[in-house]
Amino acid sequence: MRILDQNIIKFKFSFLLSFMLLLSGEAFSEQQRVSLRWKPSQGAESYLIELSEDREFLRIHHFYKTKNFRYEFNSQDSKFYVRVVGITMDGVRGVSSPIISLADKFAAAPKVKVERPSTVVASSEELRISLGDPKTSGPSSNSPGSPNSQKQVPVSTYYRVNGGEWQKYEGSISLSQEGWNEVEFYSEDILGNKETPKKTKYLKDTTAPQVRLIGEKKGQSGLIEIKSGAELTLQVTEEGSGMEEITINLAARDGSGAEVNLTLSGEEAKKPIKISSSGIDGLSILRWEANDKAGNYIQSEIPLLIDAKHPVCVFAPTEGKLREDGIYYLKENGLIAIRCEDPGTGSGLSKLEYKIGNGPAQSYQTPIGFNTGIHTVTIYTSDRVGNQAEFKIKVNAIKPDWQKTGSELQEK
C-alpha cells in the first residue's frame, strides 16, 4: 500500500537554479560552455535534465541523467530549453524545475580561446549527445543537397563511436564508455553526395574526485587523534575532467575555539592540501565538498579528536601534609602518591616518570618513599599525541630523634 501511495502522490521539489558561464573547446579555438546548478531536493535519488525545442516541452528531444547537482552544456545544446526533474529511488518523477532557455544563456557567454584539446561532457549514467536535427543535416555546400541549392535534397547522417560500426543518426548518440569517446559523423544525400567525416571527442566522466586524509591513524578513542596545532593533509585525486573546486571546514563540534574555512580551485585544488588545527580542541569535524569540471560532486566528513591540553597531575602524601611553604612534610614511613589524568576530551595518558634530585628518571608505578631530608622531585608526563608537562615538588622527610621509651624523673 505504501509503494502504491508513493506512485499516486508525487512529492514536491524545490529547485533553485543558477547558471555559470564556462569555457572549453579545441586547442586555441573559440567555444562557449554554460553550467547549470541546482540545490539538492529531498527524496530525489537522481535527476533528469530534459531538453526540448519548444518552451512547452511538448516533445523531449533528448535528456541527460545524473546524480549530481550540476551539469555543463556544450554549444550543441544551445538552441534548446532545459528543465530538471528529480527522480525517487522508485522511479517517481517530482515537480519540474522552472524552464530556462539555453539560447539566452549561450548568447551571454563569452567566446574565449582555450587550450583544452577537446570537449568535456558532464557526468551522466545515460549520456546522450546531439549533433542537431538529422533532417536538416547536409553534406558540403558545393553539393546538390546543400542549403545553397534551390531544392533541399533529403539527407541522412551516420556516425560511429570509438571506431565501431557506422550507425544511422536519429537525433542523439549514446555514449556508454567511461573516459574519452571519439565520435565520427558525416551526412549523405539520396544522390550519393557524401561529405568528409568529421571528428569530435567527448569525455564521459562519472567519477567524483577522491579526497582522503593521509598520514593519520586512529587512537585509543577509535578516532583519528592529533595534537592541536599539527597539520592535516588532504590528498585529492581527480583523473577525469579535472578539479573544479574544493571547500574544507574544520571546527570543534561544540563550536568553541578556532575554525578553519578554506576554498581552493583549479591547479591549487589538485595539490596536497595542508590544514592547520591551531586553536582547536576536543571532538572536531573535518568536512569537505569537492566537484570536478564535469559536475561530479562529493561531500564527506571525518570526526577527529584534537588534543590541545597536557595531562594534569595531583600529589597526595600518605603520612604527612602539604604545608603553607609549598613543601610536602612526611612522617616516618610516609609516601607521596602521584595521579595524572588527561582531560576528558584528551587522547589519554602515555607516559608518567619521575626523578629525585639528580637521580635517574624512572617509571612511576607505586607511591614514592624518601630518605630523611629535603628532596626535589621532578615529574614528567605526556599524552598519546605528544602534549607534555613537567611538575616539580619539594618533600621534607622528618625522622624524630627522641626516644620512644620516655625518661626517668630523679629527685635532687
DSSP labels for 280-307?
--EEEEEEEEEEETT--EEEEEEEEEEE
Residue 337, all three cell numbers: 602518591
Residue 251 is predicted with a pLDDT of: 92
CA angle, 276 as apex, 275 and 278 as ends, to 5°?
A: 160
Q: Check: CB of residue 394 under 8 Å from CB of residue 374.
A: yes
How far apart, in Å, are the Cα atoms of 372 and each of 6, 240, 330, 367? Answer: 85, 76, 9, 16
What's the CA gap between 167 and 153, in Å, rounded? 20
| pLDDT at residue number 235 | 92
Q: How confident is the model at residue 270, as a pLDDT?
A: 82
State the pLDDT at residue 298. 86
Alpha-carbon distance 289 to 243, whole Å?
12
- Domains identified in the chain and CATH numbers: 34-108 (2.60.40), 114-123+154-204 (no CATH), 210-307 (2.60.40.1220), 312-398 (2.60.40.10)
Backbone angles phi, psi at 353, to 5 degrees: -130, 160
Cβ atoms of 352 and 390 closer than 8 Å: no
Task: Please give the pLDDT value at position 367.
Answer: 94
Angle formed at CA 239 by CA 209 and CA 200, multiple of 5 degrees? 120
Reduce the DSSP state of residue 8 to 3 states and report it.
helix
Between CA 97 and CA 175 the distance in angstroms is 26
Cβ count within 10 A of residue 328: 21
The number of beta carbons lying within 10 Å of the beta carbon of residue 391 is 17
Phi, psi of 227 (to 5 degrees): -80, 135
Q: Is 173 exposed, middle or buried (0-12, 13-18, 19+ CB in 10 A)?
A: buried
The strand pairing partners of 285, in sequence order, are 251, 303
Question: What pLDDT is recorded for position 328?
Answer: 92
CA dist., res. 122 & res. 182, Å (int): 16
pLDDT along the chain (412 residues), means of 10: 37 49 40 76 86 91 81 81 91 90 86 49 64 53 40 80 91 82 89 87 86 89 91 91 89 86 86 91 92 83 92 90 86 89 85 94 94 92 94 88 52 44
Q: Which of 231, 240, 180, 181 is nearest to 210 (CA)?
A: 240
Residue 382 one-letter amino acid: S
Phi and psi of 8, rounded to 5°? -85, -45
Residues 6+ apart with CB under 8 A from 232: 213, 216, 226, 250, 274, 275, 276, 277, 286, 304
Sheet holding 231-237, edge to edge: 210-214, 231-237, 273-276
Could you give the 3-state DSSP secondary structure of residue 189? strand
CA separation for the pair 321, 318 (Å, rounded) = 8
Determine how many CB atoms are found less than 10 A away from the CB of residue 140.
13
